[in-house]
Amino acid sequence: MIRKTADGRASELTWFKSSYSSGNDGNSCVEIAVTPSVIHVRDSKHTAGPQLALTRRSWAAFVIGVHA
């Protein structure tokens, strides 16, 4: 999801933590941000680090374990 500013411009992505992520310190999480055509994935511990950008089809194949 992309939030829009008051003047209608797109702002930063809205990130959500996975409910399946966990760790001993509680900080081991995967986050996703959804746009109409792309699923963005990042490590919540390194929010300024690398991110994956997957098509919806690739994301679905990744989540259910099917080769696209």
Q: Give me the helices (H) in the chain, please.
A: 56-64
Comparing 1 with 59, the larger pLDDT belongs to 59
Tokens of 5: 């500013």
pLDDT value for 64 = 87
pLDDT tier for residue 24 given thresholds of 50, 70 and 90: low
Percent of the chain with pLDDT over 90: 19
For the stretch 49-66, pLDDT in tens is: 888 999 999 999 988 886
For the segment 39-47, the average pLDDT, to the nearest whole number, is: 86
DSSP 8-state class, residue 15: P
